[in-house]
Structure 1
Amino acid sequence: MRRCKKSLVSATELSPAVLEKRRRRKYEKERKRRRKKELKMKEKMEKKGAQEVAAAVEPQHAEEESKGVIIFNRVEVCEKEELSKIERKREKRKRVKGNLTPLTGKNYKQLLSRLEARKSKLEKLKDKDQEKAQELENKMKWTNVLYKAEGVKIRDDEERLKAALKHKEKRKAQRQKQWEKRTEHVVEKMQQRQDKRRRNIRKKKVTKMEHKMEKARKKGRILPKDLEKAGVK
């Protein structure tokens, strides 16, 4: 009876914080125990599942091996045949078109220089061999027709290329002007901010000095500035 009384007294004497701490410790132990139990069950289930899958897959492998079915070689052969067909088509296109690179893209300056080079080549060839020059010209036209049929936009009009180049250069100049203007504006803004900062710092210094001088005057000190104002040297 005495022991029971002592334990009851000690339990009632304990502070709420200690009791809460004990309760939390007990709850944590139970939670860890439950977690451990769940993990063990999960491992058992995973092992069981893996064994079942292995048991199901093994007979299928054995059946395939007994039949001796090989599929991969056929796929490889089909792929090789398709690749060779694509390569043959590509080579045929090259033979038809020749080694002439199409005049495409938006680099108008380069396109104009290439077009001029082609024209000068034709002119030189006409002086030497008229027939070969005609053959080359026809080949160029035929190549352009083939590329256009494929959906490639050919840019072989000299006048249009010149106009496009002029327009591009004009836009470039405008953008450059806008960029310079923007840069000047940014620099100006930065300068204004710096000037404002300097003015504020100067103002703070003057305010601080005046505050100090006012304090000194209140204490009864006579300042040189006050003497100058009064006309006393």
Structure 2
Amino acid sequence: MASLLAKDSYLQNLARKICAQPSAEPQKRKWAGQTENSKAAGPSKKKRKKTQKKFQEQREKAAEHKAKSVEKSPAASGAKESVTTEEGEASTVAPAERPTPEPDSFFALDVLRQRLHEKIQEARGQGSTKELSPATLEKRRRRKQERDRKKRKRKELRAKEKAAKAGKTEVATEPAPVAPCPEPQEQTGLIFNKVEVGEEEPASKAQRQKEKRQQVKGKLTPLTGRNYRQLLERLQARQARLEELRERDTGQAQALEAKMQWTNLLYKAEGVKIRDSEPLLQEALKRKEKRRAQRKRKWEKRTAHVVEKMQQRQDKRRQNLRKKKVAKAERRMEKARKKGRILPQDLERAGLV
């Protein structure tokens, strides 16, 4: 910035000097008839009028240039004011004594001032954005948004820090509550803070069978499952045993029957489905046998169908191979006939053999 201001001041001083200097007049040629007395008398009236008109035209041109330069570079107004004051002072002088202005030099100075002003604005970040591409404008806009966001974030952090400090000071000022002394607890005989669980080894087959026997109520295994044939056999065996006991001792038979009924009720209470009805077991067995027979028939039918399909494919394959063989032989015979050979088949057809 300092260098730009120095340049601006230098240009303004240079403009003042250029405006103040009189224009170098060309040497006038001496006429033979002109004497010193005629020079002292001064220029004639016609020449004075011409020079006045010329000065007026030049002044108008300079004013137009100034107006244009003011529109282009408003920052150079101070320099122009100084130039106008000097021109005003010079206008008080007689038109014959006034130096001729140079509009070209003024225009060059205005251009320089305008460039300097644009550079200053660009350095400040206030330059014109007409020549910039939309990508750069978008980049600038994003940077500005990012700066604003960071600024807001810093403000929020400062506010939070202040609030936290204020809260800490309030907590520090408050007196700490006195904690009541803990009463000694009476130690009980049992402490449940440690429980050791050992990894149990998998039970053996004998152990599992023993547990299963213990679960059996009244030493009677429940009639459960879907093996209807086995269930029916077990039920028939129980009934046969009861019949034998009735023949020998009716009391024991009744006690055993009551025991069976009670055990079945206990199993049913636990949610076990007991299948102790002989007619239902027979019907279920018939259904199962019927379903099995149907499946067997379906399977046999399927196997027969598969075998039949396989046989059909084999026959078709053999037939195709035979056709290919015959066609190949025919092609060979045709080639031989084309070559002029006489085949036995042709002789047989002609009846020569």
TM-score range, shorter chain: 0.5 to 0.7
Is 2:244 the partner of 1:124? yes
Identity rate, percent: 65
The equivalent of 1:104 in structure 2 is: 224
Cα deviation, residue 127, structure 1: 1.7
Q: Tell me the distance in 2 between the aligned counterparts of 1:76 and 1:161.
A: 47
Q: CA distance change for structure 1 residues 99 and 196 in 2, over 3 Å: closer, same or farther?
A: same
Is the contact between residue 223 and residue 275 of structure 2 (CA under 8 Å) also seen in structure 1?
yes
Cα deviation, residue 131, structure 1: 1.6
Q: Tell me the distance in 1 between the aligned counterparts of 2:350 and 2:234.
A: 89
The equivalent of 1:229 in structure 2 is: 349
State the TM-score, normalizing by the size of structure 2.
0.40
1:15-73 residue CA offsets vs partner (Å, 9 max, x unmatched): xxxxxxxxxxxxxxxxxxxxxxxxxxxxxxxxxxxxxxxxxxxxxxxxxxxxxxx976x
1:106-185 map, 5 Å: 106-185=226-305
How many pairs are equivalent? 152
Q: Tell me the distance in 2 between the aligned counterparts of 1:227 and 1:90.
A: 95
Letter paired with 1:199:
Q
The answer to which structure has the higher helix fraction is 1
Q: Which has the larger radius of gyration?
A: 2
Divergent runs of 4+, >4 A: 89-94
Unaligned runs of 5+ in 1: 1-69, 80-88
Q: CA distance change for structure 1 residues 232 and 150 in 2, over 3 Å: closer, same or farther?
A: same
Unaligned runs of 5+ in 2: 1-191, 201-210
Is 2:286 the partner of 1:188? no
1:149-181 residue CA offsets vs partner (Å, 9 max, x unmatched): 111111001110111111111111111111111
Q: CA distance change for structure 1 residues 129 and 103 in 2, over 3 Å: closer, same or farther?
A: same
Q: CA distance change for structure 1 residues 197 and 215 in 2, over 3 Å: closer, same or farther?
A: same
1:41-80 map, 5 Å: 74-76=195-197
Q: CA distance change for structure 1 residues 190 and 90 in 2, over 3 Å: closer, same or farther?
A: closer
Q: Tell me the distance in 2 between the aligned counterparts of 1:182 and 1:91.
A: 46
Cα deviation, residue 135, structure 1: 1.2
Q: Which is bigger in relative contact order (C-alpha 8 A, separation at least 6)?
A: 1
Give secondary structure in 2 for the equivalent of 1:151: coil
Q: Tell me the distance in 2 between the aligned counterparts of 1:138 and 1:130.
A: 12
Q: Tell me the distance in 2 between the aligned counterparts of 1:219 and 1:204.
A: 23
Q: Tell me the distance in 2 between the aligned counterparts of 1:71 and 1:228.
A: 114
Q: Tell me the distance in 2 between the aligned counterparts of 1:93 and 1:173.
A: 38
Q: Tell me the distance in 2 between the aligned counterparts of 1:213 and 1:204.
A: 14
Give secondary structure in 2 for the equivalent of 1:98: helix
Q: Tell me the distance in 1 between the aligned counterparts of 2:213 and 2:343.
A: 101
Q: Tell me the distance in 2 between the aligned counterparts of 1:211 and 1:189.
A: 33
